[in-house]
Chains A and B, each alone.
Chain A
């Protein structure tokens, strides 16, 4: 299984929605505390070493998240620790990049999500308690959603409803928003501790997974959100990211500060269906490929990016 060693600590990894063998990695120097950042665009190749870097972009501050455009196959967007959002075009020569830099957030931008249904807009969430909506062709944000009282760690579009998104915050709530509404439409006090990540079920548009500092992943149905559908226990420390599979209805991947990546099936009694402990530091980024079923990637503070097929050992060569 290919492994990529980055010079900086990994923060996020995302597969391209256009190319099966392409992925982007967001990294930050000095664990993201203080220092530069770098975005790597990697290509999977047959034979050793399995993965090569096709281009890398340096940034002045840490890169906390990266996401691919759904409308342009060569465009990717980066969330930077100095509060800026930068757009890169891999089809242009590296010195022409970045092609845009939006400085609006007052604090670190923690996450990005591109709208998979409308394909023309994306969300950023930041430690300044806000979520911003952007369109690719506009020089400024379209809207700012300010209701959380603490860092918003992630904002995710609903895969079926192009106007609906969810945001997970350190104020221990998840909010559902509709861009047609002035404010949030639903508040789910999901955990007793900070909620670090959330993701929608791709096959059931009312089901949402949240992961928290309390080491659990909870599955919610927004139609009856008082009680979770399932609580997934098994991680030893805070669960940093959670992701629903694009191919199987009830399959979830999560990564945690206990350095493992876990696979869950929340419809099953014994929900933990897989555990990968390949990382030697906090595992903070995870993604499942939309184009290739079963292909997963993860990254962590051990500066490594692993790409592997479900069921195989990520460290196998």
Chain B
């Protein structure tokens, strides 16, 4: 059954786009007629979400959006993450509504999202290589950068304070404890000298005292040792952290340098490339994001750094091996990286010589698609030209020219001879269309079709009486077609007419 075709001229598009209606069954008379007859466009389109909003998903989304790290990321990345987790648009909007106002850094995303998105979002999971973790902090918004700077400053301060306190404690211990110890020992010695008699009695007590004192001293010493050790460890930890940060920073700086080098190289050689590139130069140069695509593609680091055309065809997930690229592909990639241009590129002017050149008139009317009739044809194949194995005609083109002659000469004979054969041979010809139950309705629906669509619909709706009209149209076609290519249409129409003949004669 013929479906809705060409009921609206292109000028309807802006009108439709401007309409802010959420209802797909926007009230257009043509559509309503279509819906009534076709019943393929139910009032709620199947292409919209009809699921209710899931509260648990929204709760998860709110938790995600409230996370401090997420707060610092661009809004578009947050949306993308939630979409990839399976949330619908409504759920995402609701979650955004419920989370308190995002930090001011998110406003930058409105502009950044325009000129090629930022690098990998900080919240994107497994698809990234470890290398990405390095550039991510750098490309983070200014506020986050400010925060991290703050932390380094803090770290330095903390390290300094700890070192100072450790040193001070050590000095203090040296100064205070040791004299105390010394004086204590001296006292004991003195007591020993001045009171040898007491020694006998005092000895056990002295010994006990000495033991106790020694114990206390050792305990104190061990405490001191422990404390100083802990301080050293924390100092080392801080220092390690600090070193890690500086190392990462160094890596980022290096990558930035290499990227800018490549950009400069290509800027240099871009003078040789035709003007058409010039519009894109700003985009290529201006965006740091040329690196992002290869990273998330999981492809080799080798062709990550090219910025002429950053994304090679997406290669493979990060965890499996990339498909083996042809050797010459790698050669060209390395050439580009080195800044050389392949020598086989020509300057070509491919702009239209006459931008207002009208399109030439179509010689053939558009053909209906095999699926327009709702059934998959299951025709048997028979041998013929290799690519027309299902069509037993000897050649395609020969048939076209002879058909026209045959048709005008003795249409009836040809037609009645092999209608069934036609049906079998032409695999893309649909099975018999259903009999027209209400001819008036069918005509009314199909009436506003433009000239180009008169073929099958006209054949079906006209029925027996319209055969003469058919003939006139067909002869018009053959006149305008001129060469044999019009013949296909002629045969089609003839076929349709024949089927109608058969179906109606048989009744």
Contacts and interface: CB of A to CB of B under 8 A. Distances in A.
A98 interface: yes
A292 B428 contact: yes
Interface in A255-304: 257-258, 281-282, 284, 290-295, 301
B333 A91 contact: no
Interface string B40-81: 110001111100000000000000000000000000110110
B80 A161 contact: no
Interface stretch (B226-234, B240-248, B367-375, B407-415): B367-375
A149 B80 contact: yes
A1 B20 contact: no
A91 B45 CA distance: 40
B315 A189 contact: no
A97 B279 CA distance: 22
B315 A34 contact: no
B4 interface: yes
A151 B21 CA distance: 28
Given A92-B360, A149-B76, A171-B84, A293 B377 contact: yes
Contacts of B175: none
Q: How large is the interface on A (under 10, 10 to 19, 20 to 34, 35 or more residues)?
A: 35 or more
Contact of A186 (B48, B314, B347): B48
B353 A59 contact: no
A46 B309 contact: no
Interface string B457-492: 000000000000000000000000000010000000
A101 B317 contact: no
B367 A36 contact: no
Interface string B85-102: 110110000000000000
Secondary structure at chain B's binding surface: helix, strand, loop or mixed?
loop
A15 to B, nearest CB: 11
Given A31-B332, A248-B376, A120 B10 contact: yes
Contact of B313 (A61, A106, A282): A282
A238 B314 contact: yes
A18 B400 CA distance: 13
Interface in A1-58: 1, 17-21, 29-36, 44, 46, 50, 57-58
Given A29-B344, A82-B277, A237 B313 contact: no
A75 interface: yes
Interface residues of B, number: 112
Contacts of A61: 276-277
B359 A136 contact: yes
A18 B364 contact: yes
Contact of A89 (B309, B359, B376): B359
A71 B309 contact: no
Given A100-B352, A103-B279, A179 B86 contact: no
Contact of B49 (A34, A70, A101, A186): A186
Nearest to B389: A309
Interface in B299-334: 306, 308-309, 311-317, 323, 326, 328-329, 332-333
Given A34-B332, A73-B364, A203 B83 contact: no
B427 interface: yes
Interface stretch (B214-222, B252-260, B390-398): B390-398
B479 to A, nearest CB: 17
Contacts of A184: 89
B385 interface: yes
B359 A99 contact: yes
B142 interface: no
Tell which of B26, B46, B126 has the most Cβ of chain A within 10 Å: B46
Contacts of A59: 348, 350
A188 to B, nearest CB: 9
B314 A194 contact: yes
A187 B17 contact: no
B13 A187 contact: no
B452 interface: yes
Contacts of B375: 203
Given A44-B387, A50-B386, A194-B297, 7 more contacts: A31-B326, A46-B395, A96-B354, A100-B355, A119-B6, A150-B293, A179-B13
- Report, nearest first, the 5 A-B pairs whose CB atoms are least far apart: A135-B10, A237-B323, A202-B371, A257-B323, A99-B357
16 contacts: A18-B364, A34-B341, A70-B366, A75-B360, A100-B357, A106-B116, A107-B116, A118-B6, A136-B359, A142-B13, A151-B293, A171-B83, A182-B20, A185-B45, A196-B314, A293-B390
Interface of B: 3-6, 8-10, 13-14, 16-17, 19-22, 24, 26, 40-41, 45-49, 76-77, 79-80, 83-86, 88-89, 113, 116-117, 126-127, 274, 276-277, 279-280, 283, 293, 296-298, 306, 308-309, 311-317, 323, 326, 328-329, 332-333, 336, 341-342, 344-355, 357, 359-364, 366-367, 369-371, 374-377, 379, 381, 385-391, 395-397, 427-428, 452, 485
